[in-house]
């Protein structure tokens, strides 16, 4: 095993224009002299807080991110990776700046020994756990992008520069080391104490580590189960270290440990989780907060014809939500004016439904009618969006809603899925996890092995028909996948990561008959006479009108055109051609990095692109 023991290992192998000697002679701007720093608890806390500031994901990455380009969200344009223009020559992600955060983590691990004996052992171990948590966090992101990557053990020294020119470490070894980091962090990070716990859910503590560990281990366990080979090499897993089952057991254990701590519960109002200024700390384990002085423009990004991508919920997403009696919807061919009736309450918390209102800039309350210039499917997002006109009528940062990063709901889902994948699901576990989520949403919970359960053929077909790598899925697994969609979509790239680990990336391409995204169903009568939604009359425009009172439908299935699925009525289809190949389960190593260090090696399938 050629383990690169340096943070700059492969470092994009720096820029070709920068010599190694020049680079290593620099004094890192984010570091202090090691002889005088890391000498007290305050120093450890200060550096650890700097890691939070450096690694905290942006608002757009936490909400829109990769999920916005999957099967459940239509956009006016997609990402380059789903087109033929994306190649190893145009790829990025292996430059020095892409490795700088890992360097900061390892720098702390290398130098915090200065505090040994000067702070209590439990405080020292806590902060070592925090640094190892962040190393695991950052390394895992590299694994998701490139599969094989470098395991960074220590900060590079000038005399070690030759280690820059080595091959990547195998994914199985890297994830074994990541698992060791997480175990240390779980065992040693504290739940509270000075500078550790916060009502604002800012700091890294044992709760945050456990939530992340359950997410990571579930990802890797299911990835190894549904992918028969390492996508970086095309070779079968060796199982030299942890197996798929080992990671699933770790996911189960970490999630259960957090559940048994009884520190969190489900918030009683789902929509408040995404539009409240203060994080609902009964459910949110870690998150970002904002206020009147420090705001963002997320609502404006959703409610603008030009600022964003006209992010649009799809019919497939809407159809995932159950009836309140716990049974699946009989047909998707239902008018948008009726399909919200007797449905899972999360649907109308995420998608604009009949009867909803907004506050005008004058302070009055008005019916909230969809604006077609904001959407490609006829459905309009509510999740993350404030129903205050001032937040979506101007381009300034006028949104102050907090952004959850880890929620207790996800931990329940991680536990349920890990247990189900291990073949250990019971009615009691179901009731304590999926049942809890459904009851909050006003949905009767029915265990799939009970006699009252109604199998959903549409759901089964969605995940097993016209799929490149169909799997044998139980009703329990299918319903957990439904629940992840209805509970977590548009949060932390959850849907995208789920598709990647379940080996269902081709869902991104196939969507509606491989044409594009399907939206609302327009009946024959509505197509001819129009319909009224929240007090506004909508006419179906067949000449491509951009009038916000009309749905612009033209009889063309050409790329980036609108059409009806049935010719003169039916689903509104935004036709958008995208590409999917198995090689896309990894990103290519950029040619610029390979030119500096050919030993990095290209990922399988990208060698000729």
**Chain segment 470-502, per-residue pLDDT in tens:** 899 999 999 999 999 999 999 999 999 999 999
* Alpha-carbon gap, residue 605 to 373, rounded angstroms: 39
The rounded mean pLDDT for the chain is 88
Within 10 A of 395 (CB to CB), how many other CB atoms are there? 12
How do strand 235-236 and strand 284-288 relate by DSSP bridges? unpaired
Q: Which domain holds residue 249?
A: 206-289+405-504
Q: Does residue 218 contact residue 410 with C-beta atoms inside 8 Å?
A: no
Separation of alpha carbons 51 and 105, rounded Å: 8
Task: Find the Cα–Cα–Cα–Cα dihedral 48, 54, 55, 59, rounded to 10°.
Answer: 130
> Confidence band (pLDDT; 50, 70, 90) for 36?
confident
pLDDT over 70 percentage in the chain: 89
Per the structure, the count of domains in the chain is 3
Residue 463 to residue 473: CA distance in whole angstroms:
9
Q: Of 481, 504, 527, which residue is a domain's last? A: 504
Domain assignment of residue 200, yes or no: no
- Given this model, what pLDDT does residue 177 score? 98
pLDDT bucket at 168, cuts 50 / 70 / 90: very high
- Look at residue 13 in the predicted model and tell me its pLDDT: 32
CB atoms within 10 A of CB 523: 17
In a domain, 196, yes or no: no
Range with the poorest average pLDDT among 21-25, 63-67, 214-218, 375-379: 21-25
Position 29 confidence tier, pLDDT thresholds 50, 70, 90: very low
Same domain (yes/no): 465, 423: yes
Same domain, 144 and 256: no
For the cut 60, the answer to whether the pLDDT of residue 11 exceeds it is: no
Tokens 């500078």 identify what position? 195
311 falls within a domain: yes
d(CA 342, CA 323): 6
Query: Is residue 263 packed enough to be buried (19+ CB in 10 Å), middle (13-18) or exposed (0-12)?
Result: middle
Token representation of residue 243: 């197996």
Q: What is the pLDDT of residue 163?
A: 42
Residue 71 has pLDDT above 90, yes or no: yes
What's this model's pTM, rounded to 2 decimal places?
A: 0.92
CATH of the domain at 177: 1.25.40
Please indicate, yes or no, whether residues 394 and 409 belong to a single structural domain of this protein: no
Residue 597 has pLDDT above 70, yes or no: yes
Contact criterion met (CB below 8 Å) for 55 and 136? no
- Look at residue 2 and tell me if it is in a domain: yes
Q: What is the pLDDT of residues 292-327, one digit of tens each?
A: 788 899 999 999 888 889 999 999 999 999 999 999
Residues above pLDDT 90, as percent of the chain: 69
Distance (Å, rounded) from C-alpha 48 to C-alpha 538? Answer: 54
| Same-domain pairing of 19 and 123 | yes
Same-domain status, 175 and 323 = no
- Tokens at 375, concatenated: 């959407």
Same domain, 445 and 357: no
| pLDDT of residue 596 exceeding 80 | yes
593 found inside a domain: no
pLDDT tens digits along 443-469: 999 999 999 999 999 999 999 998 889
583 contacts 606 by C-beta, under 8 angstroms: yes
* Residues 238-278 pLDDT 10s: 999 999 999 999 999 999 999 999 999 999 999 999 999 99
Identify the band that residue 7 occupies on the pLDDT scale cut at 50, 70 and 90. very low
Same domain (yes/no): 55, 70: no
Helix 41-55 to helix 121-146 angle (10° resolution) is 20
**Same domain, yes or no, for 229 and 122?**
no
Domain assignment present for 462:
yes
Q: Quick one: residue 301, left, alpha or beta (phi over 0 = left, psi -120 to 50 = alpha)?
A: alpha
pLDDT at 165: 60
pLDDT at 551: 61
Instruction: Check if the beta carbon of residue 468 is closer than 8 Å to that of residue 582.
Output: yes
Q: Please check whether residue 15 is in contact with residue 22, taking contact to mean a CB–CB distance below 8 angstroms.
A: no
Residue with the bigger pLDDT between 131 and 90: it is 131
Residue 423 has pLDDT above 70, yes or no: yes
Give strand pairing partners of 539: 550
pLDDT at 4: 40
Split at pLDDT 50, 70, 90, the class of 157 is low
Q: Which residue has the higher pLDDT, 568 or 140?
A: 140
pLDDT of residue 34: 58
Burial class (CB in 10 A: 0-12, 13-18, 19+), 215: buried
- Say yes or no: 54 and 161 in one domain: yes
Report how far residue 555's alpha carbon sits from residue 77's, in angstroms, rounded to the nearest whole number.
20
Which of 162-171, 229-238, 409-418, 510-519 bottoms out in mean pLDDT, i.e. has the lowest? 162-171
At which of 504, 531, 560 does a domain end? 504
Q: What pLDDT is attached to residue 35?
A: 59
- For 83, other C-beta atoms within 10 Å of its C-beta total 12
What is the pLDDT at residue 277?
93
Q: Considering only residues 542 and 83, tell me which one the structure prediction assigns the higher pLDDT.
A: 83
In a domain, 270, yes or no: yes
pLDDT at 350: 97
Mean pLDDT of 416-442: 98
Residue 389 has pLDDT above 70, yes or no: yes
pLDDT band (50, 70, 90) for residue 198: low
Whether 590 maps to a domain, the answer reads no
pLDDT band at 197 (very low <50, low <70, confident <90, very high): low
Examine the domain organization and report whether 2 and 133 are in the same domain.
yes
Same structural domain for residues 329 and 415? no
Q: How confident is the model at residue 562 (pLDDT cuts 50, 70, 90)?
A: confident
Domain finish residue from 476, 504, 532? 504
pLDDT bracket for residue 195 (50, 70, 90)? low
Residues 6+ positions from 542 with CB-CB distance below 8 Å: 553, 554, 555
CATH of the domain at 448: 1.25.40.900
If asked whether residues 167 and 215 sit together in one domain, one would say: no
What was the pLDDT predicted at 15? 31
Q: What is the mean pLDDT of residues 168-197?
A: 91
């Amino acid at each position: 095993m050629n383990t690169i023991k340096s943070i700059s290992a492969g470092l994009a192998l720096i820029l070709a224009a920068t010599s190694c000697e020049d680079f290593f002679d620099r004094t890192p701007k984010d570091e202090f002299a090691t002889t005088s720093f890391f000498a007290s608890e305050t120093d450890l806390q200060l550096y650890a807080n700097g890691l939070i500031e450096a690694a905290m994901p942006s608002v757009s990455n936490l909400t829109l991110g990769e999920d916005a380009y999957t099967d459940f969200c239509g956009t006016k344009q997609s990402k380059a990776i789903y087109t033929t223009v994306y190649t190893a020559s145009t790829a990025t992600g292996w430059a020095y700046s892409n490795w700088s955060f890992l360097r900061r983590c390892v720098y702390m691990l290398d130098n915090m020994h200065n505090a040994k004996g000067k702070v209590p052992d439990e405080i020292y171990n806590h902060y070592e756990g925090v640094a190892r948590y962040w190393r695991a966090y950052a390394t895992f992101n590299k694994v998701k992008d490139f599969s094989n990557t470098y395991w960074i053990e220590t900060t590079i020294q000038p005399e070690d520069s030759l280690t820059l020119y080595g091959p990547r470490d195998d994914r199985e070894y890297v994830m074994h080391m990541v698992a060791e980091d997480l175990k240390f962090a779980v065992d040693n990070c504290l739940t509270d104490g000075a500078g550790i716990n916060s009502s604002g859910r800012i700091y890294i503590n044992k709760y945050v580590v456990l939530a992340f560990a359950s997410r990571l281990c579930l990802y890797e366990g299911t990835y190894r189960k549904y992918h028969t080979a390492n996508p970086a090499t095309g070779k079968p897993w060796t199982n030299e270290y942890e197996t798929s089952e080992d990671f699933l057991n770790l996911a189960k254990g970490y999630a259960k440990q957090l559940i048994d701590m009884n520190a969190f519960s489900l918030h009683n109002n789902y929509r408040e989780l995404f539009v409240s200024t203060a994080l609902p700390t009964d459910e949110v384990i870690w998150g970002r907060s904002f206020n009147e002085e420090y705001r963002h423009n997320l609502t404006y990004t959703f409610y603008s014809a030009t600022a964003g991508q006209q992010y649009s919920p799809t019919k497939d997403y809407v159809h995932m939500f159950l009836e309140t009696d716990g049974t699946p919807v009989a047909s998707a061919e239902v008018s948008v004016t009726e399909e919200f009736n007797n449905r899972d309450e999360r649907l109308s918390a995420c998608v604009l439904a009949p009867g909803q209102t907004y506050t005008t800039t004058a302070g009055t309350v008005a019916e909230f009618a969809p604006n077609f210039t904001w959407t490609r499917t006829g459905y309009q997002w509510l999740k993350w969006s404030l129903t205050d006109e001032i937040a979506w009528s101007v381009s300034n940062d006028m949104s102050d809603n907090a952004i959850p990063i880890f929620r207790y709901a996800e931990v329940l889902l991680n536990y349920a899925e890990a247990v189900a994948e291990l073949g250990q699901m019971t009615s009691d576990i179901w009731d304590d996890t999926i049942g809890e989520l459904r009851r909050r949403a006003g949905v009767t919970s029915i265990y799939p092995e009970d006699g009252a359960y109604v199998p959903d053929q549409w759901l089964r077909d969605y995940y097993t028909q016209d799929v490149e790598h169909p799997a044998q899925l139980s009703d329990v697994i299918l319903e957990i996948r439904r629940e992840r969609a209805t509970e977590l979509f548009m949060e932390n790239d959850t849907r995208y990561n789920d598709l990647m680990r379940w080996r269902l990336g081709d869902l991104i391409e196939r969507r509606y008959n491989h044409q594009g995204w399907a939206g609302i169903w327009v009946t024959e009568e509505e197509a001819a006479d129009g319909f009224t939604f929240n007090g506004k009359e909508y006419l179906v425009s067949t000449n491509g009108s951009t009038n916000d009172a009309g749905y612009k439908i033209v009889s063309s299935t050409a790329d980036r055109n609108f059409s009806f699925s049935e010719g003169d009525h039916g689903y509104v289809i935004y036709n958008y051609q995208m590409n999917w190949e198995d090689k896309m389960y990894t990103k290519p190593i950029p040619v610029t990095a390979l030119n500096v260090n050919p030993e990095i090696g290209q990922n399988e399938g990208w060698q000729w692109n």
